[in-house]
Amino acid sequence: MRNSRKIDIALLDKVIENTVEAVERSKSQIFEIAEMARKEEEALYQKLQQVEAEVRHVIREVDRLEVQYRISRQRLAEVSRYFNTYTEEDIRKAYESANEKQLNLFVAREREANLRNQRNELQQRLKNIAKTIERADSLAAQVGVVLDFLTGDLNQLGAELEKAQHRQMIGLKIIQAQEEERKRVAREIHDGPAQMMAHVVMLSEIAERLLQKDVEQARRELHDLKETVRSSLSEVRKIIFDLRPMVLDDLGLLPTLRKYLENFKQRYRVMYELIVLGKEKRLAPPMEVALFRLIQEALSNVGKHAKASEVVVRLEFQPRGVTVSIRDDGVGFEYPPEEQSENQFGLIGMRERVEMLEGKMEIRTSLGAGTHVKFNIPMDGGKHHAG
């Protein structure tokens, strides 16, 4: 039995090794597709900017030619009506001028129509390429989950086969949560600072060209450039705080929570009250991170969905655990719901994390009566240290 078990494990290791190589190749190919799509997206965006500028220019040209054509038509009508007063040469010139202006106007209108079609086509291509990038990122995240799982520590697989199903389920949930967080951060960077940096490059190029022609306009462009950089810096700081607030490591859960609640009030215009019961103390860093993320998710649901004017956050430090309560005066919802919505997925994720921490979570809500989320996380009293 032991020999056959070793053979099975060796075969399984070989299968996993081959699978990992195939998945890694697939992941590299997906990344290449995504990068090529992003480069194409940038080229299309630059082309769209150029075409839009040409459209604006040709619209002004059409307006100017329409005025000229109306004037030439009025002149032709005048010489035709009083042909006895004008010479044959005057009539001929008026007719030729009207024809010329009409032809120029026709050509300009055709160019405007072609440019508009080209602009619409570029906009549609940009939408399609954005969908391609989104699908590629989603697929890369899924492949990453599989790859991380396959490249995990499988040395003790034989001795732990009986418990593998439970461990795999928990491990996959953790990895999936990590990949979703990475995907969210990547999307925020791509949609925020990355786009702003591309805009900065474009503004700097414009300012560089204007310095030789129009210093005042160049100064205005540089002002816009400075504001864009400031906005980008603010966005980067927000992403860094969401990813891992530095104050959480330095000062602990409560100072970080107070700072987050202030930002929450400014962002969502929701007043808050923070109540702390029991003796404040520093907890083990992983536990502080877990509690902060749970509270952050609950408050995010309040800000996005509850339409609340006030939220009360209550923390109670107990000898062998922490109880957290988040109560809002918002619109509430049906619970349990008949069908899942976006805020329900957030609550489901919270419940799963609480259960992984061997805690309990309770939700009380109804339409028009606000929402009360409460969870208790047990912990070994010796694992924390005094603050």
If you ran DSSP here, which 8-state letter would residue 335 be given?
A: S
Q: What is the pLDDT of residues 175-205, one digit of tens each?
A: 565 666 666 666 666 666 656 666 666 767 7
pLDDT of residue 322: 94
- CA–CA dist 102, 66 (Å, integer): 8
Class of domain 247-383: alpha beta
* 1-155 CATH fold: Helix Hairpins (1.10.287)
Q: Give the closest residue to 32 by CA, choosing from 128, 136, 186.
A: 136
Mean pLDDT of the chain, nearest integer? 77
Who contacts 14 (Cβ-Cβ below 8 Å, separation ≥6)?
Answer: none
pLDDT at position 159, please? 44
CATH fold for the domain made of 160-243: 1.20.5
Dist CA 363 CA 298 (whole Å):
11
pLDDT tens-digit profile of 87-97? 888 888 888 88
Q: Which amino acid is at 180?
A: E
Q: Could you tell me the residue ranges of all domains in the chain?
A: 1-155, 160-243, 247-383
Question: Which pLDDT band holds residue 7 (cuts at 50, 70, 90)?
Answer: very low
* pLDDT tops 80 at residue 16: no
End-to-end Cα, the chain, rounded Å = 54
Report the percentage of the chain scoring pLDDT > 90. Answer: 13
Mean pLDDT is highest, among 8-22, 71-85, 188-202, for 71-85
Determine the distance from the C-alpha atom of residue 122 to the mean position of all C-alpha atoms in its chain, rounded to a whole number. Answer: 22
Mean pLDDT, rounded, for 238-260: 74
Q: Give the highest mean pLDDT range of 131-135, 153-157, 253-257.
A: 253-257
At 382 the pLDDT is: 40
- Comparing 239 with 93, the larger pLDDT belongs to 93
pLDDT digits (tens, 9 = 90+) for 163-173: 544 445 555 55
Residue 22 confidence (pLDDT): 76
